[in-house]
Amino acid sequence: MTASVEPNVVQHSELKRSITAKQLYFYVVGDVLGSGIYVLVGLVAAAVGGAFWMAFLAGVAIATITGLAYAELVTKYPQAAGASLYINKAFRSPVLTFFITICMLSANMAAVGSLAAGFTRYFSGLVGIPADAIWGATIVALVFVAIITAINLIGITESVVANVVMTFIELSGLLIVVIIGVIALVEGVNDPSVLLQFNTEGGIGNATLAVLAGVSLAFFAMTGFENAANVAEETIDPSHAFPRALIGGMLTAGVVYVLVSIAAALAVPISTLAGNTLLEVIRADLFFIPAAIMLVIFGIIAMIAISNTTLVTVVAQSRILYGMARENIVPAVFSKIHPTRRSPYVALIFGSAIVAALLVVGAAIRSGQGDLPAEEQLDIVDRLATITVVFLLFIYALVIVACLKLRGKDEGPDTYRANTVLLYLGILGNLAVLVYTLIDDPDALFWVAGLLAVGLVLFLLQNFSGKKHGHPLSGIEHIDSHPVDAPPANKEH
């Protein structure tokens, strides 16, 4: 994009800039915090052992480096579409851009499914739904997805405000865990040496593999920051606000993750925490409020935290699909917006339908595994989180490559510039975790293929309609001069 094009970008945008730097900061913090620590902490502990905080630390490092690339690119191109836009500008390949778009949509949909299943675990604990009530839990997850979709139909402005409120609530829950960890340390509940213990034997090599196994799950906890790029065009003064809000939000979330991980390891035995949620920390009954009361309070906080992340993820998914429909990349029906709420209702409903399909398929598979040992049965939270990580690690690595490839282009005095050495380390880190994840869980590839097949169907549908409206990928070639818009923001209240 040349300097002469940028004014036109602003003029052609239908978007109202209503998101402040503070709102964007909490948007990032709230999205990242709710997306993993409440849902996957037990799975990471099971993979690593008492030192599972190291997995979160490594995941935070890799994700933050990736965030540096996003910060640089957003200050150059403050438009919706995120990774799709950056990949197109760097490689000028319509096919690759379309593929990245489908990968991002698939990652968001898998993430929503994983979070919905995680929400159900906390909800089941509160109302007493038994663990073997597979279809009952699935119905709860489906209702949860429907409610989140309805909230997003209200409009982006209300969603961002709700996100800020829920961020404060979810932070309070994690603060409770940290306080319990301090109490456990003072009372000597667990030996602090547990923080350096791995559940493998045989030296540093196996310890490293244990951490890497944990990173492939813990990395899910840091995903979501990329969603902020899709509301960049709705942000006031993005060239200044975005780098500070994104990196600051990620570092804040990272510090909280590490502290919560250490606190959990100090409060309960790893064998108890493994495979479970943070409710096990509350059950230790170390807080000054009785555990029976705290289990209810913390369960509600956890569900709010998960809802917060899901809310933001669904916002991003619908805006990506809407934007690409505007550019003639997916069927035009996805560009339809509600006449009064100004939300992309077709894109929202489609995304919810795909998430529902993932949850139903998972329930059907689990229902047929009754004769298998519990550890061999499908864990839908784990599986969908893994799928999300597979897609995003590939996208993140390619975005960093795009950032390096676009150096020296479309830069202005306010353009943020990331450290080059760190960016190369980010590429290696993302690819290393991606390779290990695929080797460790090859069955995830079948689910990945299924989601990509949905993208292929969209392509074929657009190819058919393209006979009347032009080539299905022709819009990608003009992203430079016509931004991939998000839908108009609803009026503020």
Q: Kindly tell me the sign of the dihedral angle through the C-alpha atoms of 358, 359, 364, 366.
A: positive
Collapsing DSSP to helix, strand or coil, 20 comes out as coil
The reported pTM is 0.83
As a residue count, the chain comes to: 493
Q: Which of 392, 190, 355 is nearest to 271 (CA)?
A: 190
Backbone angles phi, psi at 482, to 5 degrees: -135, 105
Cα gap 481→322, rounded to integer Å: 18
Tens-digit pLDDT string for the chain (493 aa): 333 333 333 334 445 566 777 888 887 887 677 667 888 888 899 889 899 999 999 988 999 999 999 988 888 887 656 787 889 889 988 888 888 888 988 998 999 999 999 999 899 888 888 878 889 999 999 999 999 998 888 765 555 666 677 778 888 999 999 999 999 999 999 999 999 988 765 444 577 777 888 888 888 888 777 767 767 667 787 777 888 888 898 889 889 999 999 999 999 999 899 888 899 999 999 999 999 999 999 999 999 888 877 887 887 778 778 877 777 777 778 878 777 767 788 888 999 999 999 999 999 999 888 788 877 788 898 899 999 999 999 999 999 999 999 998 887 777 788 889 999 999 999 999 999 889 888 999 999 999 999 988 887 887 776 544 555 555 555 544 444 444 444 433 3
Q: Kindly tell me the sign of the dihedral angle through the C-alpha atoms of 253, 229, 156, 324.
A: negative
Q: Which of 122, 147, 139 is nearest to 311 (CA)?
A: 147
Tokens 């603060």 belong to which residue?
Answer: 175
Q: Where are the beta strands (DSSP E) in 175-269?
A: none
